[in-house]
Amino acid sequence: VTTSKRRETFRLYYWPGIQGRGEFIRLALEEAGASYVDVARLPKKDGGGVAPMMALLGGEGTHLRPFAPPILTVGKLVVAQTANILHVIAPRLGLVPADEALRIAAHQYQLTVTDLVSEVHDAHHPISTALYYEDQKREAKLRAKNFVASRMPKFLGYFESVLAENNKSKGRFAIGARLSYVDLSLFQVIEGLRYAFPKGLARIAADVPRLLALHDHVASRPRLVAYLSSKRRIPFNEDGVFRHYPALDP
């Protein structure tokens, strides 16, 4: 990572009212101390709002049209899909080992986080994203019950193994000897699950000590302490991916 690359300005395009999938990008940019603009959260008079994001989704300014936010641009590069964005920017941010096999494995871990996040979303929206939660509450109860009892322990148990088997960090980090973007994402997963399913997560907490220790370590890193207590960190809410509906966490 060169200092000059760190001075590049990243432009993040994501929904302004939620953490959502964009938060995985925000955490990496914040931990790296990168220069970035959270475009949709800027005032309209400063070129902000969701209009520039919708223009990108409509194919303006790129012949490589993205399907959905988050979208990140740096220089002429336009990148979409959360895990793809992290895969591309992590070397510039110093948040992934340089070794190619490890970088590929980090991406596999992140894509598994993506799968987990998708299942978290579908726990409250099992039928359709076009319907309100209230209109699919009965089905959400069924899906969330299965998610909490079966899928959440499977995913978290897997990541606990990943930590345990990473001898280079003595079980502290997911890959290599130092913190990577995967660790930041695992922090966000624990943070989100603790918000959405506090009772369900508490029941399996004893099985994932390394994940919880990683969560606490990430929360204590100086740049993230500053970020998490700032207004840049949007609070969890019931418009995002991680939602707390007591009926889904009995």
SS3 222: helix
- To its own copies, the closest distance from the beta carbon of 234 in angstroms equals 24
Q: Which residue number, 163 or 224, has a Cβ lying nearer to its own copies?
A: 163
Q: Where are the beta strands (DSSP E) in 48-95?
A: 71-74, 77-80
* Binder of its own copies out of 66, 70, 192, 240 (CB under 8 A): 66
134 lies in the site for its own copies, by CB under 8 A: no
Q: Which residue number, 51 or 142, has a Cβ lying nearer to its own copies?
A: 142
- To its own copies, the closest distance from the beta carbon of 159 in angstroms equals 9
Q: Where are the beta strands (DSSP E) in the chain?
A: 9-13, 35-38, 71-74, 77-80
AA identity, residue 132: Y
* Binder of its own copies out of 45, 63, 220, 230 (CB under 8 A): 63
> Do 143 and 97 form a contact (C-beta atoms < 8 A)?
no
Looking up tokens 């990430």 gives: 218
Query: Is beta strand 35-38 parallel, antiparallel or unpaired with respect to 77-80?
Result: unpaired
- To its own copies, the closest distance from the beta carbon of 208 in angstroms equals 15
CA distance 230 to 224: 9
124 lies in the site for its own copies, by CB under 8 A: no
CA 91, distance to chain mean position in Å, is: 17
Residue among 226, 225, 157, 146 nearest 186 (CA): 157
Q: Which residue number, 57 or 228, has a Cβ lying nearer to its own copies?
A: 57
For its own copies (CB under 8 A), the number of binding residues is 47
CA distance 216 to 213: 5
76 lies in the site for its own copies, by CB under 8 A: yes
Here's the x/- map for its own copies, 169-208, by CB under 8 A: it reads as: ------x---------------------------------
Binding site for its own copies (CB under 8 A): 59, 63-68, 76-81, 83-84, 87-88, 101-102, 104-105, 107-108, 111-112, 115, 118, 122, 126-128, 130-131, 136, 139, 142-143, 146, 150, 155, 158, 161-162, 165-167, 175
